[in-house]
Amino acid sequence: MNKFIFISGGVCSSLGKGVAASSLGALLESRGLNVRMVKCDPYINVDAGTMSPYQHGEVYVTDDGAETDLDLGNYARFTGSPLSRANSVTTGQVYESVIRKEREGRFLGRCVQVIPHITDEIKSRILAVAREDPDNDVVIVEIGGTVGDIESIPFLEAARQLIHESGKANAISVHLTLIPEVAGGELKTKPTQHSVKAMQEMGIQPDVLICRAPVMLDEPTRRKIALFTNVESEAVFTSYDVDTTIYEIPIVFFDQKLDQVVLKKMGVESRHAKLAPWYSMMDRFAGRKGKVRIGIVGKYMELHDAYKSVYEALFHAGLECGVAVELVKIDSTRLEETDNPDSILGASSAAEARLDGILVPGGFGQRGINGMVKASAWARTNKVPYFGICLGMQIMVIDWGRHVLGWEDADSTEFDQDSKHPVISLLEEQVDVKNYGGTMRLGKSETVAEPGTHILAAYKEKNIWERHRHRYEFSNKYRKEMTESGLKTAAFTPDGSLVECVEWPDHPWGLGVQFHPEFKSKPTAASPLFRDFIAAARDARSCN
């Protein structure tokens, strides 16, 4: 069975199309269907790897090392769809391969055009995901952007063709719109009517509408929308603003029978929905007692999406540890400017204002680094739980070099090429390791944890598979002095050549990893390291 669901958006962006697509995926999986998720991004970048987190939020990394759009992170958190390079299609990739074929003369003298050549390339990428595994049932294709955008036209045209070629029962269109509320509390359906008209002009009649609205739409409003849009009123759904968590959306849709209507339209018989993991997750949400305050010390603090997977993983960990996690976002440049980090990190403040843990996430570039080093030193000396991810681990090593070993200029060669103590460096700068090249380490690889470490206690097994995205490494030249002065090297690559995890001695929980565990965390199964970090923060708080 190969069915397609195309999810498009109208009226404006940021309506939660990714969450809607993922929630529908979760519901179909709960009925035993094999779901694959694909994101089509109309931007011309070949991938998200070169985009600033300020522009487009975090870069989500897949097992095979693709640097993709953050929506793939939503898919990973809500569904079990395998995700790789193939699940993220951008205009840049599509044009790149069509132009390469043209240069190779593969179009045999024909004029190369958007239709059919660009649309064929889009279709072949979607079909490739569908055919990846003979057991695939449904491919959910989310089309980025808003109907009416110039950039998304080829993707919508490819969707139209696939719907036409597959037949109505095999491919449907789900369109997400906004129902705004105007003064006086009145809900307005007109933008939705126009948005569906724009879809119809593209040759696509939406089969299902999901209306983002502040409250549940009543029956007369749904009937009115149905009348104006040619969509059956039973196929008009509301994605209302929940005051709990986005992870309730699958249940919100289930209660409205979204999955039943979608399956009926595609002629699919399915077994009963098994939503127990989602309900018990919501029970854990409601049962949380108290909170922990976690300071995130980074440099892209204004945009929530810049550290999206980290924030989500903290939330998942809170669910497992029975506490709410309050995120305290701290711009590391602020710490750079102060001689009194306590005033920002609050060791001496009342419990209400105190930070119970510090997390330094991944990042690139020099700005704000010394503020992060201050945060590390503060957490280390005040025995506050600390979690360093990628750059956050490198920061721990720099802090140790500067403040424990007394090398004032200890640094990463990413930030200071002239440092006499380059404790973090490119591999080729380290004499004893060769053959790694100066390229980014990207994607899944194996880490082996040492006995008697926090990392082993978290994963409960020594062979760990997580994803990387970095260029610089703990310098082996300093391994001996670092460990002899007490810094624990807690995990390595299987050949022992690279340090993957460091831990502070005599500290409740101070740990940094060179990989990114946040990418594999789910609301129904938190990342082990995030879980233990939040548990340590919770225990520290209750002791105070």
Cβ-based nearer residue to ligand GLN, 49 or 148 = 49
Of the residues 39, 265, 470, 541, which one makes contact with ligand GLN according to CB under 6 A: 470
22, 136, 120, 134: which is closest to 69 by C-alpha?
Answer: 22
Please tell me whether residue 296 binds ligand GLN under the rule CB under 6 A.
Answer: no
Please tell me whether residue 367 binds ligand GLN under the rule CB under 6 A.
Answer: no
Tell me the closest approach of the beta carbon of residue 337 to ligand GLN, in angstroms: 22
Query: Measured between alpha carbons, how far is 337 from 371 in angstroms, rounded to an integer?
Result: 8
Instruction: Name the DSSP letter for residue 236.
Output: E
Segment interacting with ligand GLN, rule: CB under 6 A, options 235-243, 312-320, 358-366, 376-384: 358-366
Segment interacting with ligand GLN, rule: CB under 6 A, options 64-72, 83-91, 131-139, 464-472: 464-472
* Residue ranges in 237-362 assigned as alpha helix (H): 249-255, 258-265, 276-286, 308-321, 332-337, 342-345
Please tell me whether residue 363 binds ligand GLN under the rule CB under 6 A.
Answer: yes
Please tell me whether residue 299 binds ligand GLN under the rule CB under 6 A.
Answer: no
Full 3-state SS string of 12-23 = CCCCCHHHHHHH
Cβ-based nearer residue to ligand GLN, 310 or 345 = 310
Tell me the closest approach of the beta carbon of residue 228 to ligand GLN, in angstroms: 48
- Helical packing angle, 308-321 and 71-78, nearest 10°: 20
Instruction: Name the DSSP letter for residue 350.
Output: -
Active-site annotation holder among 211, 321, 390, 501: 390
105, 203, 117, 121: which is closest to 157 by C-alpha?
Answer: 203
Two structure tokens written together for 519: 């990418």
Sign of the Cα pseudo-torsion (210, 212, 224, 146, in order): negative
Active-site annotation holder among 175, 421, 468, 516: 516
Of the residues 362, 385, 401, 510, which one makes contact with ligand GLN according to CB under 6 A: 362
Segment interacting with ligand GLN, rule: CB under 6 A, options 120-128, 224-232, 302-310, 356-364: 356-364
Tell me the closest approach of the beta carbon of residue 511 to ligand GLN, in angstroms: 15
Please tell me whether residue 364 binds ligand GLN under the rule CB under 6 A.
Answer: yes
Q: Which of residues 413-442 bind ligand GLN (CB under 6 A)?
A: 414
Query: Pattern 38-67, binding to ligand GLN, x per CB under 6 A?
Result: ------------------------------
Tell me the closest approach of the beta carbon of residue 11 to ligand GLN, in angstroms: 35
Q: Does 516 qualify as catalytic in the annotation?
A: yes
Of the residues 4, 300, 378, 472, which one makes contact with ligand GLN according to CB under 6 A: 472
Sign of the Cα pseudo-torsion (265, 267, 273, 278, in order): negative
List, in order, residues 6 or more apart from 459 with CB less than 8 Å away: 449, 528, 529
List, in order, residues 6 or more apart from 306 with CB less than 8 Å away: 53, 54, 57, 58, 298, 300
Beta strands in 308-462 (DSSP E): 324-331, 357-360, 386-389, 411-412, 422-425, 441-449
**Which residue numbers are catalytic?**
390, 516, 518
Interacting residue ranges for ligand GLN, rule: CB under 6 A: 362-364, 390-391, 414, 469-472
